[in-house]
């Protein structure tokens, strides 16, 4: 395992030409940001769970490098430890080291949150959880960059995705109209939901890992128990008729249609 360099500076205060105290040095930690940290909510029919996705800012020399990380929960205190890079059985190539630490299903409330690097750098903060969002706030962000302090929660009975209509624009447009006629509109706050982002773009949504291009149509709607199976059949029929086209659809239960 490789440890990351941490820079610490000890400042001793002087008064005139005399040293006031040798016993009380002030430790000022100056640490370059080494990691990106982000929140993610996994979806399933039975529960939703929170995890923390970590990756290095700089590329590592092994494609399979991982971040040596650990998560712990003691009552209402949460701690995420980042302790260097694992490069065992290296597959040569440049890429970020990654890891994901799972916090599980957390009840709504306020949690103390510690994010520490190599038991040397300590960042204190708090995580607030309610029915609509996760809010992670730190007093300092030494050694890491928190990509999103707010993770909005995916609304119930929602489904979203995208159609890549480059191969058959007319068929894709017809499918989009058919889905829209069966789905219900959603009024969502702008922001990051993990699986997608609601923004001011033309379509109002950017689906995570969606291809980039003018011929990709993202969407989000609400389904009802009556319309869900009908929409799924529309999608299946489209795939059968147009195997060259790409359509990806996801829902609030963690299922892919």
Instruction: Tell me: do 14 and 55 sit in the same domain.
Output: yes
Give the C-alpha separation, 254 to 174, whole Å: 26
Note whether residue 94 is domain-resident: yes
Note whether residue 257 is domain-resident: no
Note whether residue 163 is domain-resident: yes
Give the model confidence (pLDDT) of 107-127 as tens digits: 999 999 999 999 899 999 999
Give the model confidence (pLDDT) of 121-164 as tens digits: 999 999 999 999 999 999 999 999 999 999 999 999 999 999 98
Instruction: Tell me: do 138 and 123 sit in the same domain.
Output: yes
Instruction: Tell me: do 48 and 129 sit in the same domain.
Output: yes
Nearest to 224 by CA among 181, 183, 179: 183
Give the pLDDT confidence score for residue 29 in this predicted structure. Answer: 52
Note whether residue 247 is domain-resident: yes
Domain that holds residue 220: 158-251
Neighbours of 151 (CB within 10 A): 21
Neighbours of 96 (CB within 10 A): 17
Taking the chain (257 residues) in runs of 10, the rounded mean pLDDT of each run is 50 42 46 90 97 97 96 98 92 96 97 95 97 97 97 97 83 90 95 97 93 88 94 94 91 97
Note whether residue 1 is domain-resident: no
Give the C-alpha separation, 157 to 147, whole Å: 27
What are 56's two structure tokens? 């290095």
**Beta-carbon-side half-sphere exposure of residue 238 (alpha carbons within 13 Å):** 28
Whether the pTM exceeds 0.95: the reply is: no
Q: For residues 50-68, b (16+ Cβ closer than 10 Å) or e, as one string?
A: bbbbbbbeeebebebbbbb
Give the pLDDT confidence score for residue 220 in this predicted structure. Answer: 96
Beta strands in 63-120 (DSSP E): 66-74, 77-86, 92-95, 98-104, 109-117
Instruction: Tell me: do 181 and 101 sit in the same domain.
Output: no
Instruction: Tell me: do 191 and 236 sit in the same domain.
Output: yes
Nearest to 148 by CA among 203, 105, 208, 98: 208
Give the pLDDT confidence score for residue 3 in this predicted structure. Answer: 55
What phi and psi, each to the nearest 5 degrees, are found at residue 180? -65, -35
Instruction: Tell me: do 94 and 200 sit in the same domain.
Output: no
Number of domains in the chain: 2
Under 8 Å between Cβ of 120 and 210: no
Neighbours of 15 (CB within 10 A): 8
Give the pLDDT confidence score for residue 5 in this predicted structure. Answer: 54
Note whether residue 2 is domain-resident: no
Instruction: Tell me: do 98 and 163 sit in the same domain.
Output: no
Note whether residue 147 is domain-resident: yes
Note whether residue 52 is domain-resident: yes
């Amino acid at each position: 395992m490789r440890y990351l360099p941490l820079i610490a500076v000890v400042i001793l205060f002087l008064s005139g030409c005399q040293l006031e105290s040798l016993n009380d040095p002030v430790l000022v930690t100056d640490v370059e940001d080494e990691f990106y940290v982000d929140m993610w909510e996994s979806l399933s029919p039975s529960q939703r769970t929170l995890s923390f996705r970590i990756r290095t800012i700089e590329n590592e020399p092994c494609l399979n490098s991982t971040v040596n990380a650990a998560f712990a929960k003691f009552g209402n205190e949460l701690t995420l430890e980042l302790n260097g890079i694992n490069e065992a059985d290296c597959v040569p190539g440049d890429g970020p080291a990654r890891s994901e630490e799972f916090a599980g299903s957390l009840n709504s409330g306020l949690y103390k949150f510690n994010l520490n690097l190599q038991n040397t750098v300590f960042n204190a903060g708090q995580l607030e959880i309610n029915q609509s969002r996760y809010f992670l706030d730190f007093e300092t962000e030494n050694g890491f960059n928190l990509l999103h302090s707010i993770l909005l929660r995916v609304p119930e009975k929602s489904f979203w995705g995208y159609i890549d209509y480059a191969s058959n624009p007319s068929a894709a447009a017809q499918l989009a109209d058919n889905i829209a006629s069966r789905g219900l509109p959603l009024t969502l706050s702008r922001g990051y939901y993990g699986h997608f982002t609601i923004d001011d773009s033309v379509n109002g949504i950017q689906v995570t890992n969606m291809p980039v291009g003018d011929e990709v149509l993202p969407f989000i709607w609400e389904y009802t128990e009556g319309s869900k199976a009908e929409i799924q059949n529309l999608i299946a029929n489209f795939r059968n008729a147009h195997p060259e086209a790409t359509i990806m659809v996801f829902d609030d239960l963690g299922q892919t249609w």
